[in-house]
A and B are shown apart, each in its own frame.
Chain A
Amino acid sequence: MIPAAFEYSRASSVDDALRLLWQHAGSAKVIAGGHSLLPLLKLRVASVERLIDIGRISELRGIGTSSGGGLSLGALTTYRDILDSAAVRSQFPLLIDVVDGIGDVQVRNRGTVGGAVAHADPASDLPAALLALDAEIVVRSQTGERTIPAAQFFEGAFVTAIAENELLTAIRIPSMSGRGGAYAKLEQPASGYSIVGVAAVVGRGGSQVRIGITGVGDVAYRAMAVEQALLASDWSDNAIRAAAAHAADGQVVASDIHADRAYRTQMAAVFTRRAIAEALRRAG
């Protein structure tokens, strides 16, 4: 349980991190809380030439709210920071649902939202939430900053739209005014990762809906078939159930020792229904 040897640089600022990334493009990995990357290194499942540690860059940590009711999460914001935020708790209960179910106390104290999003584990919870929340991911390099919609950010298992010389700096989430959100998850019993995780955001009275699903395929996705069925429905219990049955439409559903394809497909429908019902309730 000792990683293979690697070089290590600690970045003192965002600019310093961007300079290091530029200098070592292609041979470096960024490390923040280390709760995804370090186990892989210790098991020697992964190896790196160099780690760039951004863990002490204070400007990257913190939760901001905009006048329009939007939320900005610095990349180094920990799960604990989110759970402790009164603003998140009152306006983004979906995020509380998500973060409360991640790992254990130690993981929540150390793990960062930027790290989890950049790692893009196919069974991690935040990608589904960001899809449903219509979030944007802010990345920066020495040549400038760009903003990537969540729908274009997650490209595959452990693959994102971040370029080699870019650093994820923040996540922006629009206001939830007039909308309700909820997250429902079936946990893999050993790891606590999602077998199925469903984030639903619903406009009051069924005016709009966005569903993000994780754990089902090799990347989190928006369940467009469910959304379309709902928008054409009366939002009755039966209509929600019928719409949720489309949760895995078009997906290559994963199969493993914890859930075979049939079970996972069915659970996607069950948890989609549960998430929508709770989001609708919260929308008021």
Chain B
Amino acid sequence: MTAVRDEISQGPAVGQSWPRLDSREKVLGATRYAADVPVAGLLHARLVQSVYAHARIERIDTSAALAIPGVVAVLTAKDLPIKGSGDMRMFQPLATREAVFAGQPLAVVVAESEAAAEDGVQAVMVEYTPLPAAVDMEASMAVAAPVARPHRHISAQDGEMASPHAAVGHHDDVAVGEVEIGAAASPHAAVGGAADKPKLTEELSPNVIGRHWHRHGDVDAALVGSRATVSGRFETDWVYQGYLEPHGVISWSDPVNGDLVVSSGTQGVFYTRSQIAKIFGLPVTKVRSIGTPLGGAFGSKILVVEPLAVAATLLLKRPVKLALTRREDMSMTNPASGTRIELEIGANADGRLTGIKSRLVFDAGSFSEWTVESIGAVLVAGPYRWDAYDIRAYGVETNRVGTGSYRGPGGPQASFALESLMDELAARLGMDPLELRRRNAVTPGDRMVDGEGWVRIGTREVLSEIESHPLWARRNSLPAGEGVGLAVGVWPGGREAAAAVCRLEPDGSITIITGVVDMSGVASGFATIAAEAFGVSVDKVQVVATDTQGAPRSPLSGGSVVTYSAGRAVQKAVEATREKLLRYASEDLEIDSGDLEIVDGQIQPKGAPGRGKSVAELAEKLDGFGGAFEPIEGHAGALPPSLAPSVSAHLAHVKVDRETGEVKILNFVIAQDVGRALNPALVEGQMRGGVAQGIGWALLEGMPFDEQGQLLSGSLMDYALPVAGDVPRIETRIVEVPAPDGPFGAKGIGEAPVCGSPAAVANAVANALGKRVYQLPMTAPRVWAAATSGSTGRSNNGGGAG
């Protein structure tokens, strides 16, 4: 490993900080997002949404809307030209017989102007018969509970409609990605997948659509024999991804070749192409998916709005735009699940972790294809070794919006529960909480609870960074009302098959062609990888993120997949290009290619600067007619054989106003193992952004629903995102433990920072108050309630010294 690091430290690009490729356009306001693309003859779509969480739709009267000048069409489910069938929401973009969540689209009004479309929406009359709504997730697990989607389940029994969950039986332990009908593997398929696992067979409501059980050893015996055990029940609210740009799409039919073009803020163009083709029964090669610059996505932007615009385009033969308003976006996209996690852990007197017992319930909402209780079940065990475990996770459908991915899906919730109890356990043992974590950190050869092997990660190293920080030393001598909290965040990583193309240009620069959508700066990471692998500076690299018509096969951006997997493909494509260039140079210079090197854009005999030619000079000779050598291009694919988990340690310093429950974060430190920091400035940006989002999870963000399933924080006037004043200066410490299969040791680093941050704040609040808050977000009223509660204990559910 050190050899790799020594070698790459010589290179021109890796480890250099420079601004993102797209930063100038963004700062100047020149970036054109999905809704900004100019298209002639555009129609505007707006949505009629269900006012009930669960209701039979008796009648949709569109006549008044159609009479409004400018309204072209009002489409309901029966009008849509959907050919594929599937249980995923993308196959049912409008409610059919019944609405299953408040805000579900019931009809699309398409008009010549957005104003006319909005007038049309107001004029559509919907007759409903309200039905009992499944709202409380725990109650919805009971056999007699109202069924959130009875239509789907009845159909599955009748064999009318293919339901992925029905097809494999309710009692099977299967990861989401393995059962989706018509779906490519989910970005998280690599996580939580399980074979030969015990099955949970208790009789439960058909609302329970996911069951996962990981078991090893005799956990009850392990806990009974422990020196200390602690337990708690932790709850988290639904959380909205909170990107600046709401979902948007424009679709049209190519006037020349008739291809369907879908231009949208999507995280994956190939996935969009495949799914749109399946949904509408089109040849996959007649669909072209263009990914527009993302104004934030965080896991959400995967085929929510595209089917609606495409359906209208196919029916009306016109370009159609659908750009959600913030209220629509908050009510009908795919936020992170609300969860309840019951957890008990124990340790021996020497701090060795004995057993972990957990029951996790994730609210999947009404469309459950992206539910992530399987990931939560893995992450609740953290990056720690356990003698015995019994972890059961359930995904439950309710009459809420369907859940989706949110940066580190399942991670913030799982870490909140585990890291809170790690602190409690350390206190019971009379042990330093950092030492307890360090002593139990996994090493290569250990396995995650789902059987996936751990590679070497820097858990001990990030903890050492925190240990050496002055704030950690001051933790027990702070003013009254202040507290410092430690937590570890971990993301297991993801891997996908990916390809990339590299082309030498006549000016000596290289162009990387990818189908990866530039999310969180990955294109800039590709530029660094390419420059390093080729031997030029990054300003000699272009990255073209293109659409499905011309891009090499590329995975969806998500799950910390693309830098690791597609970045590796970029590296290999560049190496192939470089190899070809050296062969050509060998002919041109009449020197054996093995004796040549590329240094700073010069091809020269090894160790003999000044005796070669510039890359540009050679490239120029190949431009034009009668070239003397085949084009200098490379194409490569990659599929890393291992996962590359990223781990972080977080230190939050808070001040709590006991009278009001308000929490102010004074300082925040994050140390993260990033594998290799391709561009430290971008890595630090990911770390800071993750912490900022984690602070939102910790203190502010929540989507409460009332007993009828109505969202109560459906606008940014009620849903509190962290603003500049809520986020302190964030100190970042980069730790590099290279990923064996990553490009130059790099790996995906976007998710761990959000996973551990809420728990660090929770531990800081507990240390400041002497009382623990078991619910996220820790809003002022919740903290105040904990501060003023009579109980003196910090564990809410027993536990004790053995």
Contacts and interface: CB of A to CB of B under 8 A. Distances in A.
A191 B704 CA distance: 16
Contacts of B721: 190
B720 A190 contact: yes
Interface stretch (B421-429, B474-482, B711-719): B711-719
A191 B718 contact: yes
Contact of A191 (B114, B115, B327, B717): B717
Interface string A1-13: 1101100000000
A259 B720 contact: no
Interface string A185-199: 010011100000000
A260 B785 CA distance: 11
Most interface-central of B114, B118, B700 (chain A CB within 10 A): B118
B781 A263 contact: yes
A270 interface: yes
Contacts of B781: 258-260, 263
B660 A267 contact: yes
A257 interface: yes
A4 B68 CA distance: 13
B122 interface: yes
Nearest to B119: A4
A267 B781 CA distance: 10
B719 A44 contact: no
Interface string A239-271: 000000000000000001111100100110010
A2 B114 contact: yes
B659 A270 contact: yes
Given A2-B114, A257-B712, A270 B660 contact: yes
Contacts of A263: 661, 780-781, 784-785
A157 interface: no
Contacts of B16: none
A44 B114 CA distance: 14
B443 interface: no
* Consensus secondary structure, chain B interface: loop
B325 interface: yes
A44 B784 CA distance: 36
A97 to B, nearest CB: 17
Contact of B718 (A2, A4, A43, A190): A190
Interface string B4-23: 00000000000000000000
B586 interface: no
B779 interface: yes
Nearest to B118: A2
Contacts of A256: 712
A101 to B, nearest CB: 12
Contacts of B717: 190-191
Interface string A168-191: 000000000000000000100111
Nearest to B323: A1
A259 B779 CA distance: 10
Nearest to A266: B784
Interface residues of A, number: 19
A44 B700 contact: no
Interface in B311-329: 325, 327
A8 B13 CA distance: 60
Contacts of B659: 270
A5 B68 CA distance: 13
Interface string B97-138: 000000000000000001100110010000000000000000
Contacts of B718: 190-191, 257-258
B318 to A, nearest CB: 20
Contacts of A260: 781
Interface in A1-32: 1-2, 4-5
Given A190-B718, A259-B781, A43 B327 contact: yes
A189 B114 contact: no
Contact of B700 (A2, A189, A266): A189
Given A43-B327, A257-B704, A267-B660, A189 B118 contact: no
Interface in B713-763: 713, 716-721
Contact of B325 (A1, A189, A190, A191): A1
Contacts of A4: 118-119, 122
B527 to A, nearest CB: 36
Interface in A191-249: 191
A47 to B, nearest CB: 9
Most interface-central of A189, A258, A259 (chain B CB within 10 A): A189
Contacts of B719: 190
A113 B700 CA distance: 30
Given A191-B717, A257-B713, A44 B122 contact: yes
A257 B702 CA distance: 10
Nearest to A263: B781
A190 B780 CA distance: 13
Contacts of A258: 718, 779, 781
B713 A190 contact: yes
A244 B662 CA distance: 20
Interface string B691-722: 00000000010001000000011001111110
A158 to B, nearest CB: 16
Nearest to B44: A2
B69 to A, nearest CB: 11
B325 A186 contact: no
Contacts of B660: 186, 267, 270
A263 B713 CA distance: 19
B453 to A, nearest CB: 43
Nearest to A47: B122
Contacts of A267: 660
B715 to A, nearest CB: 8
Interface string B763-786: 000000000000000011100110
A44 B118 contact: yes
Contacts of A259: 781
Most interface-central of B114, B122, B327, B718 (chain A CB within 10 A): B718
Report the 9 A-B pairs with minimum CB-CB distance, sorted nearest first: A189-B720, A190-B720, A263-B781, A191-B717, A2-B115, A257-B712, A270-B659, A257-B704, A1-B325
12 contacts: A43-B327, A189-B720, A189-B780, A190-B700, A190-B713, A190-B717, A190-B718, A191-B717, A257-B712, A257-B718, A267-B660, A270-B660
Given A44-B118, A263-B785, A267-B660, 11 more contacts: A4-B119, A5-B115, A186-B780, A190-B700, A191-B717, A257-B704, A257-B718, A258-B779, A258-B781, A263-B661, A263-B780
